[in-house]
Amino acid sequence: MLTNTPTTVRWLTSARPTGTTWGVPWPRGVVPGGSSFGLRRDDSAGVPVQSWVTATWPDGSVKWSAHAMSPQPDPSPSYQLVPGGAPTQPDTPVTVTTSGAGVVVDTGVVTWTVDRVGSVLLSSASRDGQVVARDVRLTSLWQAEPTADDGGSAVREELSGRVESVTVEQEGPIRAVLLLEGRHTSDGDTRGGRGPWLPFSVRLYFYAGSDDVRVVHTVIWDGAAEQDFLAGLGLRADVPMRDEPHDRHVRLAGPAGADHRPGFHTEAVRGITGLRRDPGEQFRAAQVDGRPCGPVQDWDTAVSQRAHLIPTWSDWTLEQPSADGFTLRKRTAQDTGWVTIPASTRAAGYAYAGGVSGGLAIGLRDFWKAHPTRLDIRGAASDTATVTAWMWSPSAPAMDLRFYHDGLGQDTFAEQLEGLEITYEDYEPGFGDPHGVARTHELVLRAYAATPPNDELASHAAALNDPPLLVPSPARLHSAGVFGDWAPADRSTPERAAIEDRLDFLVDFYITQQEQRRWYGFWHYGDVMHTYDPDRHQWRYDVGGYAWDNSELSPDLWLWYQFLRTGHPHVFRLAEAMTRHTGEVDVYHLGRWAGLGSRHNVQHWGCSCKQLRISNAAYRRFFYYLTADERTGDLMREQASAERTFVAIDPARKVRGDVYTPDPSALSVGLGTDWGALAAGWLTEWERTGDDAVRDKLLATMEDIGTLPNGFLTGDARLDLTTGRLDVTREQIAVSHLSAVFGLVEVCSELISLTRGTSLEVPEFEEAWLQYCRLYLASAEEQESKLGLRLRGISLIQAHSRLTAYAAAHDGDPELAERAWEAFHHDIGDQLNTNPLQRTAQWSTTRIDGSGVLTPVDEAPFVSTNDASQYGLAAIQNLALIPDHLR
């Protein structure tokens, strides 16, 4: 039944001067499909809004809705979203006009033109009838060999991103979205150079009343690591320069403050400040402010008669080679020397080129975090300036993605398993291959009618790096019944407050470690390290499988659940960056392993363990539903038919005790990490699209697991791709400590809740899951009584306490609840509460400085990412399921 009760949404951080898209969940049965939505301010004034559905409940009611709002000149602190309300229409909607030649998008402020094919993304941007920018395009630099240690002189070939298709995904009235897809190609004869490569997708986001376009750019690496070296990757645009040189301006953002607003390096193409002779204070002030300086003849004659002797500056470069500093330089022409400009630390990644009659800004989000990056302005003294935001700076050594060691003689499975025993690295020749991994960047292009004041530029740079987002409160999110077992943070008792303190400690610790350990860079930003080395006071960045974490034991889930229950913006940003990284870099998007992810390693793609447990759609759903981000939707759609990956590779090939070859009619599927990831992909596709075929695969395999004599305790089963069914005759018992810690707990809880009491209910599945939850941490005697044997492989005790808690909550069993809390708290296994820090001890960090460390750091040697993630998930779910039994 439809309710008109409004949902309040508030800004995650500060309101920003740009369009906004956000998501809201709804309880089952409350909002019928096809419902409209109204939006109003705190003062009850209506606000134009565009709404659409991103997920539905099985009964067809709305589960998640998405909403778009134009830039607000006077944003309200919060807004009320009203289901069933009539949406207010914009005075000037964004319009999309398609033709055989291309697509024209008019926001009411700027008209953007997109060609259907060719080497240009946006052919022009016009404001007030005047072209402000043209030929927005992708560019890349390729070389056939790595950059030599001494710099060398490798030959580079320039390629351009050629658009092969344009799809209009949304066309207003508030928000329009275009998807452009293509590859990088050479414009002429390559003479033995690089042919087409680097598939890309670019989404362009336009909002009614906005003067900017948001650009979400994804590039997929499809090269050969031994012979393809990317030496530059950038987004470039041409800017007509119509004004006199003294009325042309360049602005380059410096470091941002606490409010994300940076200061700016302020320059003119021909400067009239600081001269030996003074043109007049009013003219100097005008130039610094970006206002017209007036006719030259109005200046003091001592300057006006010598204006031709003042150099004009044509080129500027801001280089960010690391997270710790950027350099600035400029020159008067291409064949002249560079002049160094005083620089600073971390640039905000925003640049403007233009003049008093208009110009263009280009920005790259997370500029210093995603180094090496660069901003270029070229030809500002000519009729056309070119601005480029480099996602990989051409000044840096070419991207070298070759494997980091020679194999160490590990040519057989036996030798590789020996390597696993010493460095925890699962090596196999040819498997440390990046072919098919991706990276996504967010950029912005903004068309100005005139050179804007620095305060305005600062606000726009802040909007780039801290995008506006409206979110419901944790209580409102929880009331919708989404994402399984969690509850808002609760400090109502000392025991609960103590756990909340530790949950906060862990998030704050990882934020601090990201900064102190410089977990930044093109391929790295968003990931965290796996395990610490207290002897070196360093995370094990160079030790096999102990280095980059790659979603091992679900840190993605931990961070997102912690955000849901707290609403803290710093948790959101950490989880957002992780989702952007793990969904792209740690997963293959084309090639022989498309759809699979790579286990933790020194290099993100280095491990030979290619599995669905890393590419799991469960890790992406939170960000997608909270933001309606289409690229994340692409990543989840890749997992909708992920069962086909089992034909390509057997994840258990090195440790099998039986004879097995992948057979499409009998594919070995683990009922933990494998089926949990499959189920998450199917569930997400079903609720997003209503696809009956996907739903049927999900429900059929649920039924089959329930039919297996030992249910989840069977360990693995055989899947027939033709029928989508599991062989239910398998009678073995095989338990792995990893089965439940890659999203299986969360997806089973959600599926049971989703189907219970409906025609889709699978009671045998629920009972199979409850059996697993009851017996995993049961006494050996109880296991033997129920199964005829004692389970082997029991580990990660603290992590599995939430399984016992689930059974306790379902059964209303206080004894099981006490057992769950005991497993969570006490020193009975590998967990965070082990010695030397006991349950009552204060978790804290130790400052390490002096000559034994490269730079002062705060360390907590008792924390590993495995334990932090599973402690967080166990704490969150136990508090939600059995809070009254906490002592």
Average pLDDT over residues 366-394: 98
Tokens representing 673? 């990490």
Residues 6 or more apart in contact with residue 331 via CB below 8 angstroms: 313, 314, 315, 337, 338, 339
Would you mind telling me the total number of residues written for the chain in this entry? 887
Q: Give the three-state DSSP class for 765.
A: helix
Interhelix angle 797-811/744-755, rounded to 10 degrees, is: 10
Interhelix angle 865-881/814-825, rounded to 10 degrees, is: 160
Task: Determine contact, residues 79/40, Cβ cutoff 8 Å.
Answer: yes
Predicted local distance difference test score (pLDDT) of residue 832: 67
Which of 137, 203, 125 lies closest to 166 in space, CA to CA? 203
The kind and range of the H/E element at 176 are strand 175-185
Rounded CA-CA distance 348/617 in Å is 32
**Sign of the dihedral defined by the CA atoms of residues 657, 705, 594, 552, in that order:** negative
Which of 151, 220, 131, 136 lies closest to 183 in space, CA to CA? 220
Task: Determine contact, residues 502/875, Cβ cutoff 8 Å.
Answer: yes
Express as a percent the part of the chain with pLDDT over 70: 97
Contacts 24+ apart (CB under 8 A), 284-288: 287/246, 287/247
Which of 151, 101, 450 lies closest to 292 in space, CA to CA? 450
Predicted local distance difference test score (pLDDT) of residue 833: 59
DSSP per position, 387-406: EEEEEE-TTSPPB--S-SS-
Question: Model confidence over 571-611: pLDDT tens digits?
Answer: 999 999 999 999 999 999 999 999 999 999 999 999 999 99
Give Cα 250 distance to the centre of its chain. 31
Q: What share of the chain is helix, strand, coil (3-state, %, to 5)?
A: 30, 25, 45
Rounded CA-CA distance 880/562 in Å is 12
Whole-angstrom CA distances from 276 to 90, 294, 764 are 53, 20, 88
Tokens representing 273? 């400040």
Predicted local distance difference test score (pLDDT) of residue 660: 85
Task: Determine contact, residues 764/706, Cβ cutoff 8 Å.
Answer: yes
Residues 6 or more apart in contact with residue 691 via CB below 8 angstroms: 640, 685
Question: Model confidence over 443-480: pLDDT tens digits?
Answer: 999 999 999 999 999 999 999 999 999 999 999 999 99
Angle of CA points 239, 241, 245, to nearest 5°? 140
Pinpoint the alpha helices (H) of 661-714: 673-689, 692-707
Residue showing tokens 């020159």: 331
Other Cβ atoms less than 10 A from the Cβ of 285: the count is: 12
**Sign of the dihedral defined by the CA atoms of residues 296, 297, 303, 308, in that order:** positive
The kind and range of the H/E element at 502 are helix 494-516
Phi, psi dihedrals of residue 69, rounded to the nearest 5°: -135, 140
Average pLDDT over residues 724-735: 95
Rg (CA), the chain: 29
Tokens representing 148? 């030599």
Task: Determine contact, residues 268/246, Cβ cutoff 8 Å.
Answer: yes
Predicted local distance difference test score (pLDDT) of residue 659: 75
Rounded CA-CA distance 386/381 in Å is 11
> Is the model's pLDDT at 838 over the cut of 60?
no
Residues 6 or more apart in contact with residue 840 via CB below 8 angstroms: none
First to last CA, the chain: 40
Task: Determine contact, residues 532/861, Cβ cutoff 8 Å.
Answer: yes
Q: Is 623 exposed, middle or buried (0-12, 13-18, 19+ CB in 10 A)?
A: buried
Rounded CA-CA distance 646/662 in Å is 7
Q: Identify residue 844 by its one-letter amino acid code.
A: S
Whole-angstrom CA distances from 245 to 296, 360, 581, 673 are 11, 16, 43, 63
Q: Give the three-state DSSP class for 165.
A: strand
Phi, psi dihedrals of residue 442, rounded to the nearest 5°: -115, 130
How many CA atoms, within 13 angstroms, populate the side-chain half-sphere of residue 77? 2
Q: Give the three-state DSSP class for 725.
A: strand
Express as a percent the part of the chain with pLDDT over 90: 93
Q: Identify residue 731 by its one-letter amino acid code.
A: E
Predicted local distance difference test score (pLDDT) of residue 835: 42
Rounded CA-CA distance 368/715 in Å is 45
DSSP per position, 217-271: EEEE--S-TTT-EEEEEEEEEEEE--S-GGGEEEEEEEEE-TTSPEEEEEEESS-
Give Cα 783 distance to the centre of its chain. 42
Average pLDDT over residues 111-121: 96
Name the β-bridge partners of 178. 168, 204
**Mean predicted lDDT score pLDDT of the chain:** 95
pTM over 0.85: yes
**Sign of the dihedral defined by the CA atoms of residues 536, 538, 539, 545, in that order:** negative
Predicted local distance difference test score (pLDDT) of residue 549: 98
Give Cα 285 distance to the centre of its chain. 43
DSSP per position, 634-649: HHHHTTTTGGGHHHH-
Residues 6 or more apart in contact with residue 149 via CB below 8 angstroms: none
Predicted local distance difference test score (pLDDT) of residue 827: 55
The kind and range of the H/E element at 136 are strand 130-143
DSSP 524: T
Torsion angle of alpha carbons 799, 804, 808, 814, nearest 10°?
-90
Q: Would you place residue 192 in the very low, low, confident or very high pLDDT band (cuts 50, 70, 90)?
A: low
Which of 459, 511, 23 lies closest to 257 in space, CA to CA? 459
Residue showing tokens 């098919």: 436
> Is the model's pLDDT at 2 over the cut of 70?
no
Task: Determine contact, residues 124/133, Cβ cutoff 8 Å.
Answer: yes
Rounded CA-CA distance 793/800 in Å is 13
Tokens representing 124? 């022009």
Task: Determine contact, residues 169/178, Cβ cutoff 8 Å.
Answer: yes
Other Cβ atoms less than 10 A from the Cβ of 465: the count is: 24
User: 347-361, 394-408, 673-687, 829-843 — which is least confidently predicted?
Assistant: 829-843
Q: Give the three-state DSSP class for 359.
A: strand
Tokens representing 213? 């376009």
Average pLDDT over residues 243-263: 96
Rounded CA-CA distance 19/212 in Å is 9
Rounded CA-CA distance 325/227 in Å is 31
Rounded CA-CA distance 28/690 in Å is 15
Name the β-bridge partners of 258. none
Other Cβ atoms less than 10 A from the Cβ of 281: the count is: 8
Q: Would you place residue 829 in the very low, low, confident or very high pLDDT band (cuts 50, 70, 90)?
A: very low
> Is the model's pLDDT at 845 over the cut of 60?
yes
Which of 361, 506, 545 lies closest to 443 in space, CA to CA? 361
Average pLDDT over residues 275-291: 96
Task: Determine contact, residues 108/27, Cβ cutoff 8 Å.
Answer: no
